[in-house]
Structure 1
Amino acid sequence: MAFSLGSHFPFLAAYWQPVLLAALAAAVVHLLLERRRARTAAARPAPWRDESVSESAVDPAPPPPAEKTAARVPYRPARLGADEMVRRAEQFYRELNGRRSVRHFSREPVPRAAVEAAIRAAGTAPSGAHTEPWTFVLVESAEVKAAVRQIVEDEERVNYEKRMGAQWVQDLAPIGTDWRKEYLTEVPFLVLAFRHAYGVDERGERFTTYYNEISCHLACGLLLAALHQAGLATLTSTPLNCGPRLRRLLARPDNEKLVLLLPVGLPAADCTVPDFRRKPLDKIMAVC
């Protein structure tokens, strides 16, 4: 028996065109609504994430709940007169303007307490949500310094010969540096600054360290100033590709990433530095 639309579905047989148009319209409306929902979801602000962090594909868990407002204490620093403000600021500038990066060090010992005080000063730096995402490893063992030097020179030789490229090596030529880092075993101390890509609480749970890279850089700046104030010399060394091996050598956890390697000591008696001039104020400051 032949199938007849009119005999089985007389309504559809009579009105199939309007029904088809209605179904198509409903499908189009549904598609437009789904696209709108997708755009809205994409535009909705996502939870904060430090774009510099790519060490883990898993977002760290939120920190334990804290009180709504931290306990407050009075803050009343000494009020200085205008002339004294200017005098102190100018004096601090003159002192820091005497700082230089040093690559030729004396083997003369220096007080460990002075370096520790400088690291305490670094620890006063501001940090995102007061997470203080830094660790400063102080190396004084001759054996460990030798191991650090071996790792750094292994990688730096490859850096200079292959990774850095001709232009980078050429730009470093006026400074007179190469892959050899004798100063790493000459100085009394090495300080290695590690940033915390994420925090780990006492329960072993991860938490976010906001702006950890910037925070650690601020702390390192204070460390340089404090070391110079103590009469100590250093060098901001950032050895390429050495971080993982140095982290393992120093038994640091996976969440810590090397930022800076600083040899710390006194300049050698015959130490020289490039005769560089720093930019004047009108080249580094804009007033609006």
Structure 2
Amino acid sequence: MNTKSHIIVNGYEHVVYQSNALTQEELRKESIAFYNFLDQRRSVREYDDTPVPKEVIENLIKTASTAPSGAHKQPWTFCAVSNPKLKAKIKEAAEAEEKESYESRMSDRWKKDLEPLGTDMHKPFLEIAPWLIIVFKKVHEIGESGEKMNNYYVNESVGIASGMLITAIHNAGLVTLTHTPSPMNFLAKLLNRPSNERAFLLLPVGYPKSPTYVPNIERKPLDQIAEFYE
């Protein structure tokens, strides 16, 4: 059969999808191997200051940008920070918010739930990790004349991209931590972001300190996280 290389749909070009079809046995092997690989991923709070090449960070961000998004609007900006002075300012501002949260915003139950993770208001990794990637969501676009233009499913789109970024970091042999100081308005100010962008997530990226210890916790088993309707 002679397959066309492209077709036109609603006036827009569509190209042939290049499938990487596997046999059922290959599917089983690949799926379990990838699960086992990602099951090794852990959130790490202790970092080595060994440099990570900028090209690696660029590749990680490009990987995240392959995520699906509402109407393909790609409503995200990834700000990568390695400047020591800027990292110090981010740490200072984040710890100020964290101090307020631990002392007055967070419930006793919340703080009790965090105890097994060993986290507190002090965030030294924000300076030690060679890179910080701050994910911003674009709540709308700004046109050439300053007009607002809609983005769709922004939180869902940016959440998916963030998950793919975390996966890419693990795949590169690096570690990260999902850090969400609340509120995060200070990040937009420190990084001079436009008014249509809101900080979504802060990820320190680097090598783990040696040795590094992580909480001995378990993930929920499949029967607690999934229902199958066959």
TM-score (norm. length: structure 1): 0.75
| 2:223 matches 1:282 | yes
| 2:56 matches 1:114 | yes
Identical-pair percentage: 42
- The counterpart of 2:78, out of the listed 136, 139, 144, is 136
Cα distance in 1 between the residues matched to 2:18 and 2:190: 44
Unpaired segments of 5 or more residues in structure 2?
1-8
Name the SS for the 1:128 alignment partner: coil
Amino acid corresponding to residue 194 of structure 2 in structure 1? P
Amino acid corresponding to residue 122 of structure 2 in structure 1? R
**Cross-structure match for 2:97:** 155
Amino acid corresponding to residue 76 of structure 2 in structure 1? W
Cα distance in 2 between the residues matched to 1:147 and 1:194: 18
**Cross-structure match for 2:3:** none
Equivalences for residues 24-103 of structure 1 within 5 A? 68-103=10-45
Deviation at 1:202, TM superposition (A): 3.5
Cα distance in 1 between the residues matched to 2:95 and 2:189: 17
Deviation at 1:76, TM superposition (A): 2.6
| 2:205 matches 1:261 | no
Equivalences for residues 4-19 of structure 1 within 5 A? none
**Cross-structure match for 1:221:** 163
TM-score (norm. length: structure 2): 0.93
**Cross-structure match for 1:245:** 186
Root mean square deviation of aligned Cα: 1.2
Cα distance in 1 between the residues matched to 2:223 and 2:116: 25
**Cross-structure match for 1:211:** 153
Amino acid corresponding to residue 244 of structure 1 in structure 2? N
Deviations 1:32-56 (A, max 9, x none): xxxxxxxxxxxxxxxxxxxxxxxxx
Q: Whose Rg is larger?
A: 1
Unpaired segments of 5 or more residues in structure 1?
1-66
Amino acid corresponding to residue 131 of structure 1 in structure 2? K
Amino acid corresponding to residue 112 of structure 2 in structure 1? Q
- Pick the structure with more helix per residue: 1
Cα distance in 2 between the residues matched to 1:113 and 1:105: 20
Cα distance in 2 between the residues matched to 1:138 and 1:70: 34
**Cross-structure match for 1:195:** 137
Deviations 1:62-92 (A, max 9, x none): xxxxx94431111131221111111111111
Cα distance in 2 between the residues matched to 1:68 and 1:78: 27
Cα distance in 1 between the residues matched to 2:223 and 2:64: 29
